[in-house]
Amino acid sequence: MSDHPVIIKDENSGQSLELPIIRGTEGEPTLDINSLPASLGYFTYDPGFTATASCTSSITFIDGAKGILRYRGYPIEQLARQSNFLEVAYLLLHGDLPNCSEMDAFEHDITYHTMVHEKLNTFISGFHYDAHPMAMMAGVIGSLAAFYHDKMNMEDAEHRLLAAKRMVAKMPTIAAGCYRHHMGWPAAYPKNSFEYTERFLHMMFSVPTEGYEVSPVAARAMDLLFILHADHEQNASTSTVRLVGSTGANPYACVAAGISALWGPAHGGANESVLNMLDKIRDVSRVGKFVNRAKDRNDPFRLMGFGHRVYKNYDPRASIIRVAAHEVLAELGSNDPLMDLAMELEKIALEDDYFVAKKLYPNVDFYSGIIYKALGIPRSMFTVMFAIARTVGWVSQWLEQAETPTRIGRPRQVYNGTGERDYIDLKSR
């Protein structure tokens, strides 16, 4: 049964307008307001797009009230338990889980695109040793357009898919290159004998003077975190990638813009900020003081790793990471006091009326940093980890948009500046 339209009546003009309802796969109702400006002469005002759908998409589904996350229909809990990151990358890019031959072909494709042009390593070496790796990533990824201008006809589906695969393949190489530059180590080259995540950890931590064994525990934990961070529908960085893509800009520029958006502490930069916050809290006895600061509207302090624009329930990824953090710490035999502090903070916050009333729960960033730390990833690289994984989501969403005719994104505004006035020359002012 199709919905009846929603009728809005403008009491000022006496006019009415029927707005059709669009329902998503799970029945989520959305008002189509495209006819509003021409029919009633109104725009809508929605800063932060809290009530606005920017597109239709078949990639990821989130139910914020129920804490549901699915990639192409598959629950994140099943993918986390049974899949691996490269298979999830195939799923997000192509829409279905691959069969054996499709997976082999995809793995071969990605593996043979992991190297970067040697000049790119020169680019990385030009940064100061203590440059923040996210600043390096934004610059270096954007520069990939300078190396691949021969295959950037965005009208050509093959060029689009090649660019997408190149970025999935090269992000770990470039990320490891940024880390090694910071450490003063020579660039590491991808070893094709490794699988995706192992190859990344080998590029990160191997040194020329001796062999490096990738810990299976570390590889599995890293792969799990990549799966959990791969996509999340129209979050700030993905919306940025789509908006830049709507101008016809090349995919490397789109992903570079997404990296910059992700870096913000309100978004992907939160995983680094959570550890900084836990360091500042320092002791369980001080948790109450910081929870009170987070509740004070006059205090800009917020509990990093808490709250979410969409989830008004526990972020399903946080639940999975919380369990994995315990397992990784136990298997690596590292007892991190920050884990105990994080759990105490979570307990106190979840029992506090303010957090309960505002439905503020731990999000994906609350526990991920504790695992990164246990794996030896430096704090400044935490958001780079997020960017490696989210590149799959960004390029999948960019491809989905590029495959359908898209108008350039161009929000309107409510102008509240000065009315018209005449110019006064300098001498008379």
Q: How far apart are CA 116 and CA 119, in angstroms?
A: 8
Q: Which residue has the tokens 């691996």?
A: 84
Assigned token pair, 245? 């893509």
Least distance from ligand SDX to the Cβ atom of residue 294, Å: 4
CA atoms within 13 A on the CB side of 171: 30
Binding of ligand SDX by 230 (CB under 6 A): no
Binding of ligand SDX by 235 (CB under 6 A): yes
Which of 344, 386, 371 shows the shortest CA–CA distance to 137? Answer: 386
Least distance from ligand SDX to the Cβ atom of residue 311, Å: 7
Which of the stretches 166-174, 206-214, 219-227, 356-364 binds ligand SDX when contact is defined by CB under 6 A?
Answer: 356-364
Work out which of 201, 243, 364, 387 binds ligand SDX, going by CB under 6 A.
364
First-to-final CA distance of the chain: 67
Q: How far apart are CA 151 and CA 147, in angstroms?
A: 9
Phi first, then psi: give them for residue 210, nearest 5 degrees.
Answer: -155, 165
Q: Which is nearer to ligand SDX, 304 or 339 (CB)?
A: 304
Which of the stretches 94-102, 160-168, 282-290, 362-370 binds ligand SDX when contact is defined by CB under 6 A?
Answer: 362-370
Burial of 90-125, coded b for 16+ CB within 10 Å and e otherwise, reads bbbbeeeebeeeeeeebbebbbebbebeeebbebbe
Binding of ligand SDX by 280 (CB under 6 A): no
Work out which of 166, 365, 375, 387 binds ligand SDX, going by CB under 6 A.
365
Active site residue 132: no
Least distance from ligand SDX to the Cβ atom of residue 309, Å: 4
Q: How far apart are CA 369 and CA 374, in angstroms?
A: 9
Q: Which is nearer to ligand SDX, 57 or 111 (CB)?
A: 57
Q: How far apart are CA 165 and CA 106, in angstroms?
A: 9
Least distance from ligand SDX to the Cβ atom of residue 265, Å: 6
Binding of ligand SDX by 293 (CB under 6 A): no
Which of the stretches 28-36, 320-328, 361-369, 413-421 binds ligand SDX when contact is defined by CB under 6 A?
Answer: 361-369
Binding of ligand SDX by 117 (CB under 6 A): no
Least distance from ligand SDX to the Cβ atom of residue 110, Å: 22
Q: Nearest 5°: CA angle at 219, between 214 and 225? A: 150
Please pick, among 46, 308, 336, 340, the residue that the annotation labels catalytic.
308
Assigned token pair, 276? 């900084």
Work out which of 159, 220, 309, 326 binds ligand SDX, going by CB under 6 A.
309
Binding of ligand SDX by 51 (CB under 6 A): no
Q: How far apart are CA 201 and CA 376, in angstroms?
A: 10
Q: Are 315 and 67 in contact (CB under 8 A)?
A: yes
Q: Which is nearer to ligand SDX, 87 or 315 (CB)?
A: 315
Which of the stretches 180-188, 192-200, 205-213, 359-367 binds ligand SDX when contact is defined by CB under 6 A?
Answer: 359-367
Binding of ligand SDX by 397 (CB under 6 A): no
Which of the stretches 108-116, 128-136, 139-147, 299-307 binds ligand SDX when contact is defined by CB under 6 A?
Answer: 299-307
Least distance from ligand SDX to the Cβ atom of residue 298, Å: 11
Binding of ligand SDX by 220 (CB under 6 A): no
As to burial, measured by CB atoms within 10 angstroms (0-12 exposed, 13-18 middle, 19+ buried), residue 225 is buried
Binding of ligand SDX by 307 (CB under 6 A): yes
Handedness of CA 63, 64, 69, 72 (dihedral sign): positive
Active site residue 10: no
Mapping DSSP to helix (H, G, I), strand (E, B) and coil, where does residue 247 land? coil
Least distance from ligand SDX to the Cβ atom of residue 353, Å: 13
Mapping DSSP to helix (H, G, I), strand (E, B) and coil, where does residue 280 land? helix
- Which residues are the active-site residues? 308, 365
Binding site for ligand SDX (CB under 6 A): 232, 235, 266-268, 270, 294, 297, 302-310, 358, 360, 363-365
